[in-house]
A and B are shown apart, each in its own frame.
Chain A
Amino acid sequence: MYAFDLVKPGTVAEAASALAGGEAQALGGGQTLIPTLKQRLADPGTLVSLSHIDEMKYVRESGGTVEIGGGTTHAMVAKAVADIYPGLADLAGRIGDPSVRNRGTIGGSLANNDPSACYPAGALGSGATIITDKREIAADDYFQGMFTTALDEGEIVTGVRFPIPEKAHYSKMPQPASRFPLVAVYVAKFADGVRVAVTGASEDGVFRWTEAEEALGANFSTDALGGLSASEDGMIADIHGTAAYRAHLIGVMTKRAVAEMS
């Protein structure tokens, strides 16, 4: 690792002012950023640790939504929303491994927007709202490509508000070594429609499979997906799978999610 200063603000306001200083970068749970720093792929002059900001660690339910603080760990989410929003709790409880879930945070995952991360699928599939220290951003506007979001430099994800669907399921095909999704699909059924979000597959990161949403909106069953196939254009191709294989998995994982919910 290159050398850096580590600062530990206790409030969002202090963190925002620490991040305003040019080369500073936010550090969530560090489960992606610390390995990245070890490979010298990042060289921040200052790291602003968000782990000590209590106002970013919370889970609040109100009126059909649940809001989760950006500093809330995956393990905390898995426990806290198990009864309120079981589909999301299940997603959080299967990220990485137990030790990673005790450090990694929802805000860190969404700010990083890894093209194979789990939370972007949960947020986009739920139609969540990303809350920052400056504004609120709809998930449909937030995810803007691989490792790219609508966040400005120094902007902090302080919370995420999820509308709670009637039911939801996250179906994941883990890559056997990294345990990241090779392809994973989050299906959420609301009273007014169905959302289907796909992670791990596209070179542009998480995306909605709108054809499947329309088909499932008309007929929520695996049969409705029978004639659909996702295009392999723009799918990731690497040593773990071809673009065609990933496109095929999108259909399979969507069907599995719907089957779990039926």
Chain B
Amino acid sequence: MTKVSMTVNGKAVSGEAEGRTLLVEFLREGQGLTGTHVGCDTSQCGACTVHVNGEAVKSCTMFAADAEGAEVTTIEGMANADGSLGTIQQAFQDYHGLQCGFCTPGMVMIAADLLKNNPNPTEHEIRDYLEGNICRCTGYHNIVKAIQAAAGQSVPAVAAE
């Protein structure tokens, strides 16, 4: 075991990690930040997406020790300072961008990464960027709408059907 230190959601943290300790294990089990989910554990589903030094990564496919000294942001870091939902989170609520919610932390994190790189994406660009994030409930339509809304685009109302 070695000591690993990093900044998570703006706060300096440290903990013990083995070489094989994954970043997601360090966050969930070491730091109690269970908002980041483990879905497939094979780097397919994206539920574990977090930002490392400002870039989206799958935290189940990175070792905690490789994030030594990094700035890490998880879903817990996406809320506003007063605890209210951040813009993307609020848009997911407003546009029903979730059903069971399991994929949502990863969806919000990948959406934030997209909007940082491309603040006004087309629908096609949004769908393309979600390639590594799997949702088994929504069929993606409302997730795409939520991201369009978070980008400030006018979005057709969600049909009550």
Contact = CB atoms under 8 A, between A and B. Distances in A.
A3 B68 CA distance: 19
Interface string B11-38: 0000000111010000000000000000
B132 A100 contact: yes
A99 B52 CA distance: 10
Interface string A201-222: 0000000000000000000000
B146 interface: no
B132 to A, nearest CB: 3
B18 A3 contact: yes
Q: By CB atoms of chain A within 10 A, which of B18, B43, B113 has the most?
A: B43
- Bin chain B's interface residue count: 20 to 34
Contacts of B63: 6, 27, 30, 34, 49
Nearest to A2: B20
B72 interface: no
Chain B binding surface, main DSSP class: mixed
Contact of B43 (A31, A52, A75, A98): A31
Contacts of B58: 99-100, 103
A60 interface: no
Contacts of B110: 98-99
B82 interface: no
Contact of A4 (B20, B43, B56, B113): B20
A29 to B, nearest CB: 8
Interface in B62-91: 62-63, 65-66, 68
A2 to B, nearest CB: 8
A2 B18 CA distance: 11
A96 B63 CA distance: 19
Given A8-B66, A97-B131, A178-B44, 8 more contacts: A1-B20, A6-B66, A34-B62, A35-B43, A98-B113, A99-B49, A99-B58, A99-B113
Interface of B: 18-20, 22, 41-44, 46, 49, 52, 55-58, 61-63, 65-66, 68, 110, 113-114, 129, 131-133
